[in-house]
Structure 1
Amino acid sequence: MKNLSRLLFVAVLLASFSTANAQDKNNPWAFTLGVNAVDVYPVGEPTPQGEFFDEYFNVEDHWNILPFISRAAVSRYLDDGFTFTAAGSLNRISKFGSNVNLVTGAETTNEVDDLTYFALDGTVSYSFKDLVNSKVFDPYLGVGGGYTWVDDVGAGTLNGTLGIKFWINEFVAIDAQSAYKHSFEDVLPKHFQHSLGVTFKFGGTDTDGDGIYDNEDACPEVAGLEAFNGCPDSDNDGIEDSKDDCPNEAGLAEFNGCPDSDGDGVVDGSDKCPTVPGLKNLAGCPDADGDGIADGDDACPNEAGPAANKGCPYQDKDGDGVLDKDDDCPDVVGTVANKGCPEVTKEVQDTLNEYAKTILFDTGKSSIKKESEQVLADIIAILNKYPSAKFTVEGHTDSVGSEKLNLRLSDARALSVKDYLVANGVDEFRLSAEGFGESKPIASNKTREGRKQNRRVEINLAN
């Protein structure tokens, strides 16, 4: 009796320090080994039996217990908290209720010869584990039937069972239960059978072999981790593959499992400079001078400058007060009014025309005489000082000859001078040529000297 009480105490103590799961479809099978006690007293029958539940816990006077394993059971989880259990038990009956001395009123145990007790029972039970919301305490009710033999006499019984399991861990529980067995034949007394045992659950399906049964495995066909309900984490970064944007590269949770090798807050897949820390707004590339232009696209990475100038600071190389970006002639000193280019003054214009008047042609032709090469070189030097200015080469004649021939000759001579200037380095888009014939004399055509002055070439600033 003392040993039984101690076993019950240990069972409760172990259960109070554990969290586990009851028998379920993950572990559908279980077997139990334990001891049983048979009590024929509190079953509502006259002496030597007694009223229902009278002296229900009178272990010493009424309970018949064998001091070794005397009950074995196999259970199969059905569904929705229901379990079927087949059990076999044996015992010896020496206590059969109580006798009362009619004179003294003293009550004594009714002793009988050791009767052999053997029972086979089947029970369907329902677990209230979910109702009590506990992983440790697993109370249950059951109903079933069986067949019991006392010595050589046997009869069927209808059984009602109340019990509780204390789950020590995921697979082991202490099972304490009490069953009322009602016999409808006089040859077998009604009785209670109490039992205490150790239950071991097992079974279940684990398709991927990861130790997590399929019905709790979110990825039943792929081996995974318990932390992720059986789903894998291929790169071992602590983020399951289904939530990992980079499942084959270890990364950070803040980037959904993708790596950021340079630690700049831009994931490698979107980082144009993945090995160098940079800025998010520059796709992970650095900007050493802080001008908003990535170093790789910055012509002056160590000097801040605008994008319009390729990241370089604006300059005024010729010092004329017009920034190079706005200066049409960045290498030549000019004026602000002329967009940084030098302006052609009246003095320069007069000098050009003084030179142009000395250009000599073969008589009646447009071909330039060799002795004019020097003056043409001087003209070219002047024109190149004003790279943005445009000029018109004008041809003029005296009035000798027909007006038609004079116009044609003036056109030809103006074009000849233009072609010479272009051939010697003047941009042709800065020059135009036009002949005016005898229409614009600057002196009288009645004198030799006047006609000489009218036969001329002028180079004037284009309007």
Structure 2
Amino acid sequence: MKKIIILVFCFVSFATMAQGEENTYNKWLFKVGANIVDNSGDTNPFNGLALKKMGFSNNIAAGVDYRFNKHWSAGLFLSINKFKAPDAELDGEFITMDLDYFATDLSMKYYLRSATNELNRFNMYLSGGVGMFKIVDNTLSLNFGGGLVYWLNDSFGVTLESVAKFTTENDVQYDSNHFQHFVGITFRLGKKDSDKDGVVDKEDACPNTFGLVAFKGCPDADNDGIKDSEDACPNVAGLNAFNGCPDTDKDGVIDSLDNCKNTFGPKENNGCPYKDTDKDGVLDKDDACPTVKGIVGNKGCPKVEIKKEETARVNKETLNKVLKDYAKSIYFNSGRHSFTEETFVILEEITTKLKQFPNAKILIEGHTDSVGGSRLNLKLSQERADEVKQYFVVNGILEINIEAIGYGESLPIATNKSKEGRELNRRVVIKVK
């Protein structure tokens, strides 16, 4: 009896310590069924498995296991049996009187597979431990075996188990090495885990969704270490710094907001590198004339160089030539009659030259390409010519000396069939009469 008390005390102590290991798998398992004992009397319990040598009377067994980890459990097993005379053979001889068999075993089980979802209902395990059995005398044994549990549902399973028991004492009649086999029903007293993710519903923050223990049962679909409920991009692996969203080019702009997600670029340009459309060495963001090749010293705009005349005043022919060159750099916003920013520098230069001829009659012509309707083009050309006139008037040129005429698409200087030709046709001409 003292040995039984010691075994029970060891089991209870171990189970109490194991509760702190991994409470996700805190499941008590109870089993009850029948046992069969083979007692051949040989030193090797694998000898003599003939059914006629086994006891089949009052062969009841029950046990309890504490599964503290998905692979490990501790168990206590009690069994009784009876060898019936004269059918049972022990130590090579048939017995002449009935002999009772009683055993108490403490074991550790290692589960090769763990039933954490409905597709894995088989639990196969190996076991090892110590025990005490008695036929004539109380005898200690070292036990090794294995078994399997097939779970019929979340609570009940069928168990098959075989254990080889080796005695720790020699030359003991009847109380010798033997096999014990068990078949029965196992009941799992565990907390409900609806989503089968290994986290019981009571502790599962997402009880109806398969998740991870690390996130209290909540999912992390993209496996980036951020649970889906806090992940701004739950289906794409990302970074903590961006709430789970990726930044492929590592430029500090997440891919969903990055217009160039595979190319490093500044945040202020939506993750894209700055362009230099006209290839003049001045980035578009700093280029006052981004589509016209210019020079760095003039903010990317072309500088119109006018040869200084030997006299203080230039003659009309030379002035018209100068005005023609300047007018090439007058640009309007697309489809509108408002000036682009870089044009004001050119208009200021033209105004300075015209003031040298305060009484001169000035003609401003507006022209367009053939894209769009002719009426619209005529109207737009007139509006642009008037816009130039208005600038001159505001800046000190007498309005009475200025005439502005829009010709629309009627006077092309190049073909409208090519891009280059259309660009030439979209123009303003300024001349002195």
User: Could you state the TM-score of these two structures normalised by the residue count of structure 2?
Assistant: 0.44
Larger radius of gyration: 1
